[in-house]
């Protein structure tokens, strides 16, 4: 199996640190709003990478965090007049619901930054003790030039780089020893959540969070660190500096990054009016179509263009696969137990060859677009070869092979059972009751359940309207 390593800029044979095991960390979302389809791409891509490792027999420890303390979360909390934790918990629930709809498996661990503060303080102190960090008026900075390898992931020259921190400026920034130095800990501002530390009552910088959570749940060295290519610099570059300066060993062996998602060939942005949440897309298309689109549209490292036409094409493509699987499944009960014919033996051999072709595509840096093409080849073969007269063994093996390959990609190759109108009305009544009693978690759960069944709700002044997607 070959993977493209951003660190070396080439494909390399995957060799795990420990035989039969994969330790994998994927940067998760900052939870201040519903996730957009750009957030969904790495979730779907690296969930598929995980599934493929598991199919190959690896034991995968998959860690993906929630950044639940951040300027954007605080801003949203102030706007709504609620606590920052109320905002983060609300949107963590929403992210988990969206992940479930997209058939993204829960991580082995989903750590939250706010629950790992003690370990962050410990790592920061270690960096200070080793001369890699320093404190100025309650703010702790990482001394970037103290780490010789800085810039090795992004391939940027340290003298040409700007300081690697987020957009929000930190008080006292002019006191930094070097413009390149970035924040590990910052003092609280009025009304912000904070934690006590030896340097000030405050909160951690963004980058230190992932270094600490990766170390706690996966160890000092990991096999794969992954995320969107927008994280290469400064976030992942800074993670390497902190982790390797602390532990004196290589942090991650392989770095995987997915390409950007564009909307109608333009960068997604709210100002352009082309910003879509997963839920907004889910009201127009089944969630499984969005997943299928993400995997079939392009290689994960390439930019991917999102448009209505391409989503329609994905919808039609997925429908072809589901129809083929249902046809084979429908023949299972009626198929006769009989000797396999010579023609059928040849067909099974072709199936096996296609499975090998699928594996070869995935072994080549997880080329899901080519893997989906193989599934279409299998569908075409199945449609022409599987008949009412086919032996039960051949029908069974065809069904198992089709569903296996779909499952590896997280594609649900089955049609949803339609809810009756009265069932929909009953669930809407239950949702209304839950909202009235302020049980928003249950209300969101019901809305998600209905969306999963293709039922879109619209809350209006006259009441709740619904339609089938």
Does residue 385 have a cis peptide bond before it, meaning omega lies within 30 degrees of 0? no
* Any domain includes 64: yes
CA-to-CA distance for 360 and 381, rounded, in angstroms?
19
Residues 334 and 193 occupy one common structural domain: no
* Any domain includes 310: no
CA-to-CA distance for 261 and 36, rounded, in angstroms?
10
Residues 341 and 223 occupy one common structural domain: no
Q: Are strands 10-13 and 2-5 parallel, antiparallel or unpaired?
A: antiparallel
Residues 55 and 174 occupy one common structural domain: yes
* Any domain includes 354: yes
For residue 469, the model assigns a pLDDT of 67
Q: Which of 241, 263, 285 is the last residue of a domain?
A: 263
How far is CA 30 from each of CA 34, 89, 91, 112, 143, rounded to the nearest angstrom? 10, 11, 9, 10, 26
For residue 421, the model assigns a pLDDT of 83
Lowest mean pLDDT among 24-28, 322-326, 378-382, 426-430: 426-430
Residues 92 and 227 occupy one common structural domain: yes
For residue 101, the model assigns a pLDDT of 92
For residue 304, the model assigns a pLDDT of 96
CA-to-CA distance for 155 and 146, rounded, in angstroms?
17
pLDDT exceeds cutoff 80 at 167:
no
pLDDT in tens, 100-137: 999 999 999 999 999 999 999 999 999 999 999 999 99
Residues 427 and 407 occupy one common structural domain: no
Q: Which of 415, 436, 452 is the last residue of a domain?
A: 415
Determine the average pLDDT of the residues in 406-435: 87
Residues 376 and 410 occupy one common structural domain: yes
Question: Does pTM top 0.85 for this prediction?
Answer: yes
Residues 406 and 437 occupy one common structural domain: no
Q: Helix, strand, coil proportions of the chain in percent (round to 5)?
A: 50, 20, 35
Residues 403 and 447 occupy one common structural domain: no
For residue 163, the model assigns a pLDDT of 43
Residues 176 and 239 occupy one common structural domain: yes
Q: Which of 244, 263, 282 is the last residue of a domain?
A: 263
For residue 460, the model assigns a pLDDT of 82
* Any domain includes 394: yes
CA-to-CA distance for 211 and 320, rounded, in angstroms?
44
Give me the number of domains the chain comprises. 3
* Any domain includes 288: no
* Any domain includes 209: yes
pLDDT in tens, 63-95: 999 999 999 999 999 999 999 999 999 999 999
pLDDT exceeds cutoff 60 at 429:
yes
pLDDT exceeds cutoff 80 at 270:
no
Residues 410 and 441 occupy one common structural domain: no
For residue 114, the model assigns a pLDDT of 97
For residue 452, the model assigns a pLDDT of 75
Residues 232 and 178 occupy one common structural domain: yes
Determine the average pLDDT of the residues in 147-173: 70
Residues 169 and 41 occupy one common structural domain: yes
User: Which band of pLDDT confidence, cut at 50, 70 and 90, is reported for residue 164?
Assistant: very low
Domain with residue 44: its CATH number is 3.40.50.620
What is the DSSP track for 162-221?
Answer: PP-S-SSPPTTGGG-SSTT-EEEEEE--TT---B--SS-SEEE-HHHHHHHHHHHHH-S-
CA-to-CA distance for 227 and 43, rounded, in angstroms?
9
> What is the average pLDDT value for the chain, to the nearest integer?
93
Domain span at residue 399? Answer: 316-415
């Amino acid at each position: 199996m070959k993977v493209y390593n951003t660190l070396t800029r080439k494909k390399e044979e995957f060799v795990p640190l420990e035989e039969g095991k994969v330790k994998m960390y994927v940067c998760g979302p900052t939870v201040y709003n519903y996730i957009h389809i750009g957030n969904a791409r790495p979730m779907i891509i690296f969930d598929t990478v995980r599934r493929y490792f598991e199919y190959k027999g690896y034991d995968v420890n998959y860690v993906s965090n929630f950044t639940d303390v951040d300027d954007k979360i605080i801003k949203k909390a102030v706007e709504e007049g609620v606590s920052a934790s109320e905002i983060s918990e609300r949107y963590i629930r929403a992210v988990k619901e969206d992940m479930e709809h997209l058939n993204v498996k829960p991580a082995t661990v989903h750590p939250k930054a706010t629950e790992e503060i003690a370990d962050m303080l410990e790592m920061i102190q270690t960096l200070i003790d080793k001369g890699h960090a320093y404190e100025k008026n309650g703010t702790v900075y990482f001394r970037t030039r103290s780490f010789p390898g800085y810039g090795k992931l992004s391939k940027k020259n340290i003298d040409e780089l700007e300081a690697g921190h987020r957009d929000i400026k930190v008080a006292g920034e002019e006191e930094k020893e070097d413009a390149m130095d970035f924040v590990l800990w910052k003092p609280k501002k009025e009304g912000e959540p904070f934690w006590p530390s030896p340097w000030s009552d405050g909160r951690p910088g963004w980058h230190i969070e992932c270094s600490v959570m990766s170390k706690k749940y996966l160890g000092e060295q990991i096999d794969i660190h992954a995320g969107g290519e927008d994280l290469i610099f400064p976030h992942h570059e800074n993670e390497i500096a902190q982790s390797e300066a602390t532990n004196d060993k290589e942090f991650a062996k392989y770095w995987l990054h997915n390409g950007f998602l564009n909307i109608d060939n333009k960068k997604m942005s709210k100002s352009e009016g082309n910003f879509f949440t997963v839920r907004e897309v889910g009201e127009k298309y089944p969630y499984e179509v969005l997943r299928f689109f993400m995997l079939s549209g392009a290689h994960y490292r390439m930019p991917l263009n999102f448009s209505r036409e391409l989503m329609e094409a994905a919808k039609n493509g997925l429908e072809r696969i589901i129809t083929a699987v249902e046809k084979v499944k429908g023949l299972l009960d009626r198929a006769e137990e009989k000797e396999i014919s010579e023609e059928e033996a040849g067909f099974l051999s072709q199936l096996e060859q296609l499975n090998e072709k699928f594996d070869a595509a995935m072994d080549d840096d997880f080329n899901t677009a080519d893997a989906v093409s193989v599934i279409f080849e299998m569908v075409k073969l199945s449609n022409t070869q599987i008949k009412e007269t086919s032996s039960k063994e051949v029908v069974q093996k065809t069904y198992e092979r089709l569903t296996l390959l779909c499952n590896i990609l997280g594609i649900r190759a089955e049609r949803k059972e339609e809810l009756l109108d009265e069932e929909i009305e009953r669930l809407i009544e239950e949702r209304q009751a839950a909202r009235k009693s302020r049980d928003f978690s249950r209300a969101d759960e019901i809305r998600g359940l209905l969306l999963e069944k293709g039922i879109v709700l619209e809350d209006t002044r006259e009441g709740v309207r619904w339609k089938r997607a």
